[in-house]
Amino acid sequence: MRFERLAIPAYGPFTGFVLELPAEGADFHLIYGPNEAGKSSLLRAIRDLLYGIHGQTPDNFIHDYKDLRIAATIAAADGRRLTFQRRKGNSRTLLDAQGEALPDDALAGWLGVVDRDFFTTVFGLGAEELRRGAEALLHGHGELGQALFSASLAGTPVHRILAALEAEARTLFNGRARTNVRIRPAIAAYEEAQRRSKEAVVRPEAWEAVQRALAEAGAERDRLDAELLARRQRRDWLQRCLDALPLLGRLAEQEGRRRALPDLPEVAPDFVATTEAALAARVRAQAETDRLRARIALLERRVQDSEPNAAVLAEAAVIEALHQRLAVYRQWCDELVGLETDGADAEQRLRGGMRDLGVEGEPEAVEALRVQAGDAPRLGEVATALDTAEAARQANRDAAQQAREDLERSEARLAALPEEEVTALRAALSATAGAAESAKGLAEREAAVATARAKVDRQRDLLSGAPGEAAVACALPVPAAATLRQHEAERERLGRDRERVAERLAEAEERLRQIDGQGRQRPTSIEPPPLAVDLAEADVVAQAEELRLQGQEAEAARSAAQAEAATCEAALADWDRRWRGLWAPCGLTPATPAEMLDWRDQWLELRARDEAWRAAVDELARARTEVDTALGLLRARLPPNLPEVQGASLVELRALAEGRVRAADQAQGARVTLQGQADDQRLELARCEAAEPGLAAALTEARAAWAEVGAGLGLPPLGTAAGLALLEQRRQLVAELDAWMGLCRQIAGKRQAVADYAAAVDSAAERLGLPVGVVQVREAALWAALEAARAQRTRRDQARTDLTDEQAQRPGLEQALADAERRVAEACAEAGAEDGVGLAALLDQLKGRQGIDTEIARLREALHVAARGEPLDAFIERVRAEPADALAAEAAGLDQAIAAHQAERDRAIERLAGAQEEGARLERTGAEAAEHRQAALATAAGIRQDAARCLRLQLAQHFLREQIERFRRDSQAPLLARAGALFAAITAGRFEGLGTAFTADDTPVLVGRRAGREVAVEAMSDGTRDQLYLALRLAAIERHQRHHEPLPVIFDDLLATFDDGRAAAILPILSEFGRTSQVLLFTHHRHLVEIARAGLPPDGLHVHALADGEPAAERG
């Protein structure tokens, strides 16, 4: 398919745009347009035309979405032709030439299965994609399969894809690594959890043993408990007896004393207490009555002696008022003295001011100098205006003088600057910059060559058994690593098989031994049981039969294992033979695969070092050539008469040239700066001279205004500063007058208040007959008299109150005394005493008898504790029946026996607790077993998920590698041949083509062929690598076009990074490409058009100028 015509009625910057793409000659169209001419929009338009306008396209900045239209006429190789339009929308966006809707899949037959993304990436190529593709080549180390695959898949970075898959897979599993991976540590955790679960499992035997221990310990404890109880009960009775015996002795003694008492009258139990209380009450009542009577007499005398001064109390209100105002009076006196002093000072300052200003007469004459409120500011304004005008005129004169002097200095410095032309010298410096870097590194490169050679030699020495010459050793046909790993894996597998077979053999033999052992304890015959035999016997017979069958199975397993062991040994011998054969071409006797892998690594290292040495030698030669060329160029550009040019090194010549260029640049910079300064100074001088007349007129006007205002205020003709100072002195004198008059008024008021207070004090003192004195003394006498009268009145009132209270208590006390007398008389009558003395003696005897009774009761109560509920008299009888003297000895013996018994019981309880603890532990452990198993399964779930994921990633990586290799095998020959031819053409013959080489691990890599040598991708310059990638891409596109309906190929600024020579080499190839497919090359470099026209035949291209959305077609 090719475009015959592109028409864009409305899209992006285009309005009515038409691009005719004739097919005559090469179908190669160079579309030139400066930046912003619409090239990017045209590219988007082509894609949107074929695949639909994007829903949020930004190309609606001129035309509304609904108006967007792109049209084209396309043609196929078989002559089909279609003219259609595309509008924006969700469906039926394809229209025919008349605007009628076409089916949405109308272009399917033209585009095939190429979708928008594929079209964009495979049939479009720009400078950026070219750069990325070349970098991918470099990162892939030129690995051939990847290079071809990547170029054929629009630059897809295969190495990155493989790395991404491998990186994710290695986070899960990475060989023997146990860190930064998931699966191996998880397996360890899984096995650990399983081991813990097995360890925690409670066996029935363990549980039953614990149960037995529990029962035995319980029985022992119960037996010991019963025996201990009997001994403790006897010990307890003995203790009760021992506790009771002292009490029983004291009880017998008290009972004897009771019996020895004389006969006494029987009285109420509380007789002694009530009688003693009555006697004590009588004594207390008599004492209280006597004290009250004496108190009443004392209070009556105090009332009579405490009458206050009535005259003073009558003047109380007046005296209190005078006393309250006394502090105010004292303050007035102090203030009056201060005011009189201030008044004298103010008058003195006022009169001094009058003298200074020449004012005569009394102070009131100053009033004539008072100035009105608005006059003073007006005078200030006029004075400021006059000062400003004078300062402005002086500043202008100073600035003019400064500008004049600066201008003279700048002109003198300009005249003194030198001039020199250094353009050619500068270009030479730029051209030799790379060579200078090379010159600096010459010694380093020479050292690198020597070092690389030494490394080669050292590495060769490490290779045991290899030829002595490094080049010969490098050429050995060493087997590939994959081959060695396969042998290693096979050897390991065979080893594991042998171990596994040995284990099975051992297991089978062990099983046979176990079965033989069990067989000796069980019936070996399998006679059918009689009908009457019970079911237990039937089970035994069945188990014997099962045992026999298991024996047969074990025998079979052992035989099978022995056969497998023989097979394993044969396989191992075969492996060894093949292994030695593998190394025979190298002339080596191989060690183990692991050791030979290490040997091979060393051999690879030798090859790498040998290659590095060769590269270092090439690099050194190139640098030396570059330095010689630079020396010639610089000598030609420097003046020949300079003595330091001859015999100088490149670095010295460049330093000399740089110094000359730098000096010329500095002089030029100073000249520009000084010219700018002189221009500014001339402008400043002109400005000052223009301002002078205006400033003089403003000064004259300000002076006239000042004279007019000063006269209005009665001021003499003075300057602005003196006039303003005189006005300020007058204002201050008027203020002094105002202050002096205010003080005079305050002094008169204070004198009147002091006199009024003194008169009131004297009047009150006269009425009470107090002696004459100063005001404050008489007021103090008045206040003292009032306080004394009030205190006397208070004492009298308190005595009256106390007397009333005491008299109220008197009847009660006299009644209490009478009652006490009556109760004593009644007690005498009850006891038969004649009087109080007889009553007291009888009371002493009755108290003695009560004490004995109380002690007897207390002792019996104490014995109740030891009796512990047993009837007391029966208990006493039982205790008295025991042999009192032997009780203590028996108790001591029992204590020892109980202690020994207790220790034995404690041990039994410990055994019981131990068994219980073991039981509890087993139950806990059992739960732990299930938990560990659950944890193991949880871990297993994770391993399963990770392993499944890892397997997929490994397979994806494996498949991709395999198919890359397959693609290489299938397409290497034609693709590499075509890409090689293109590469030779693009590099203008510097390279003869492309080829393959093999890395140390037998991986085929892409190399360029130049002058009969192979050049690795890493050794190519960036530009050459770009050319290589372009050759690969063009070959891949050609290959695709051959197998599919050709589609237009669009190159967007493809040659932007190519110099003219390289671009000239590529353009004929693109033109040739246009003979089979349509090629559109967009560029914004005008010179590329010239190069194309110069380098291609007239029918080799079509040029279209794209300016402001309008094309102008022209024939190449």
Partner 1 sequence: MIRFLHTADSHLDSPMRGLEAYEGAPVAALREATRRAFEGLVALALDEQVDFVVIAGDLYDGDWRDFSTGLFFTRQMARLHEADIPVYLIAGNHDAASVLTRRLTLPPNVHAFSTRAPESLTVPGRPVVIHGRGFPHRAVPENLVPDYPAPVPGSLNIGLLHTSLTGAPCHDAYAPCTLRDLTEKGYDYWALGHVHQPQVLARDPWVVFPGNLQGRHIRESGPRGAWLVTVGEGREILAAEHRHLDVVRWARVMVDVAGLADPTELPGRIGEALQAALADADGRPLAARVTLTGATARHDQLKRDLPQVRADCLGQAQVVAGDGIWVEEVEVATTPLYDLADLAARDELTGIVLEALHAAGEGDLALPAEAQEMLRVLPPEIRSDIEAELRGEGRAALLGDVRAILLETLARRGGAE
For residues 96-115, which are near partner 1 according to CB under 8 A? Answer: 112-115
Binding of partner 1 by 944 (CB under 8 A): yes
Give the one residue of 183, 842, 867, 1031 binding partner 1; rule: CB under 8 A: 183
Whats the size of the chain, residue-wise?
1116
Binding of partner 1 by 972 (CB under 8 A): no
- Grouping H, G, I as helix, E, B as strand and the rest as coil, residue 1015 is strand
Binding of partner 1 by 494 (CB under 8 A): no
CB of 980 to partner 1, least distance (A): 20
CB of 605 to partner 1, least distance (A): 23
**Mask of contacts with partner 1, 795-834, x by CB under 8 A?**
----------------------------------------
CB of 946 to partner 1, least distance (A): 9
Helices 433-440, 593-637: axis angle to 10 degrees equals 130
Subset of 277-336 contacting partner 1 (CB under 8 A): none
CB of 522 to partner 1, least distance (A): 18
Going from the C-alpha of 938 to that of each of 200, 293, 667, 944, 1105, the distances in angstroms are: 18, 107, 82, 10, 70
Please report, as a single letter, which amino acid is at residue 684: E
Nearer to partner 1, 168 or 904 (CB): 168
Nearer to partner 1, 245 or 947 (CB): 947
Q: Which ranges of 175-315 does DSSP label H, i.e. alpha helix?
A: 183-200, 204-259, 271-304, 310-314
Subset of 537-596 contacting partner 1 (CB under 8 A): 538
Nearest of 252, 373, 288 to residue 876 by alpha carbon: 252
Binding of partner 1 by 963 (CB under 8 A): yes
Nearer to partner 1, 482 or 735 (CB): 482
CB of 929 to partner 1, least distance (A): 5
Nearer to partner 1, 122 or 1063 (CB): 122
Give the one residue of 58, 103, 175, 269 binding partner 1; rule: CB under 8 A: 175
Angle at 35 between CA 33 and CA 38, to 5 degrees: 65
Other CB atoms within 10 A of residue 659 CB? 10
Angle at 614 between CA 612 and CA 618, to 5 degrees: 115
What DSSP string runs through 222-248?
A: HHHHHHHHHHHHHHHHHHHHHHHHHHH
CB of 607 to partner 1, least distance (A): 24
Nearer to partner 1, 532 or 808 (CB): 532
Subset of 1072-1101 contacting partner 1 (CB under 8 A): none
Nearest of 11, 66, 20, 65 to residue 42 by alpha carbon: 11
- Grouping H, G, I as helix, E, B as strand and the rest as coil, residue 585 is helix
Nearest of 447, 451, 446 to residue 609 by alpha carbon: 451
Strand order in the sheet with 1102-1107: 124-126, 1049-1052, 1079-1083, 28-32, 1102-1107, 1110-1115
Strand order in the sheet with 1013-1016: 993-998, 1004-1010, 1013-1016
Q: Which stretch binds partner 1 (CB under 8 A): 90-98, 186-194, 288-296, 573-581?
A: 186-194
Give the one residue of 818, 886, 941, 988 binding partner 1; rule: CB under 8 A: 941
Q: Which stretch binds partner 1 (CB under 8 A): 225-233, 756-764, 949-957, 998-1006?
A: 949-957
**Mask of contacts with partner 1, 474-493, x by CB under 8 A?**
-----------x---x----
Nearer to partner 1, 113 or 672 (CB): 113
Nearest of 481, 491, 458 to residue 598 by alpha carbon: 481
Give CA–CA dist 1016/1018, Å, rounded.
5
Judge contact between 916 and 214, C-beta under 8 A.
Answer: yes
Give the one residue of 788, 818, 948, 988 binding partner 1; rule: CB under 8 A: 948
Give CA–CA dist 444/620, Å, rounded.
9
CB of 1079 to partner 1, least distance (A): 20
The backbone region for 26, taken as left when phi is positive above 0, alpha when psi lies in -120 to 50, beta otherwise, is beta
Binding of partner 1 by 118 (CB under 8 A): yes
Binding of partner 1 by 952 (CB under 8 A): yes
Nearer to partner 1, 169 or 799 (CB): 169
Going from the C-alpha of 447 to that of each of 346, 441, 451, 1000, the distances in angstroms are: 106, 10, 6, 26
Subset of 749-788 contacting partner 1 (CB under 8 A): none
Q: Which residues contact 1087 (CB under 8 A, 6 or more apart)?
A: 1060
CB of 1004 to partner 1, least distance (A): 18
Q: Which residues contact 1063 (CB under 8 A, 6 or more apart)?
A: 1055, 1088, 1091
| β-strand pairing of 28-32 with 1079-1083 | parallel
Subset of 187-246 contacting partner 1 (CB under 8 A): 187, 190-191, 200-204, 206-208
Binding of partner 1 by 943 (CB under 8 A): yes
Q: What sign has the CA pseudo-torsion 534, 540, 546, 548?
A: negative
Binding of partner 1 by 938 (CB under 8 A): yes
Binding of partner 1 by 945 (CB under 8 A): yes
CB of 113 to partner 1, least distance (A): 4
Nearer to partner 1, 428 or 1006 (CB): 1006
Burial of 499 (0-12, 13-18, 19+ CB in 10 A): exposed
Subset of 1017-1076 contacting partner 1 (CB under 8 A): 1039-1040, 1043
Total chain residues near partner 1 (CB under 8 A): 82
Nearest of 878, 327, 429, 950 to residue 655 by alpha carbon: 429
Nearer to partner 1, 13 or 593 (CB): 593
Q: Which ranges of 769-835 does DSSP label H, i.e. alpha helix?
A: 775-831
Nearer to partner 1, 943 or 984 (CB): 943
CB of 496 to partner 1, least distance (A): 9
Subset of 866-925 contacting partner 1 (CB under 8 A): 922-923, 925
Other CB atoms within 10 A of residue 1003 CB? 17
| β-strand pairing of 1049-1052 with 14-20 | unpaired
Judge contact between 57 and 88, C-beta under 8 A.
Answer: yes
Binding of partner 1 by 428 (CB under 8 A): no
Going from the C-alpha of 805 to that of each of 123, 306, 489, 802, the distances in angstroms are: 132, 19, 128, 5
**Mask of contacts with partner 1, 504-543, x by CB under 8 A?**
-------------------------------x--x-----
Give the one residue of 958, 1013, 1087, 1115 binding partner 1; rule: CB under 8 A: 958
Please report, as a single letter, which amino acid is at residue 734: V
- Grouping H, G, I as helix, E, B as strand and the rest as coil, residue 360 is coil
Subset of 916-935 contacting partner 1 (CB under 8 A): 922-923, 925-927, 929-931, 933-935
Q: Which stretch binds partner 1 (CB under 8 A): 63-71, 266-274, 865-873, 958-966?
A: 958-966
CB of 978 to partner 1, least distance (A): 15
CB of 1049 to partner 1, least distance (A): 15
Binding of partner 1 by 998 (CB under 8 A): no
CB of 125 to partner 1, least distance (A): 15
Long-range contact pairs involving 893-896 (C-beta distance under 8 Å, separation at least 24):
894/231, 894/234, 894/235, 894/238, 895/235
CB of 546 to partner 1, least distance (A): 9
Judge contact between 354 and 365, C-beta under 8 A.
Answer: yes
CB of 248 to partner 1, least distance (A): 56
Nearer to partner 1, 338 or 495 (CB): 495
Subset of 145-174 contacting partner 1 (CB under 8 A): 149, 152-153, 156-158, 160-165, 169, 173
CB of 580 to partner 1, least distance (A): 23
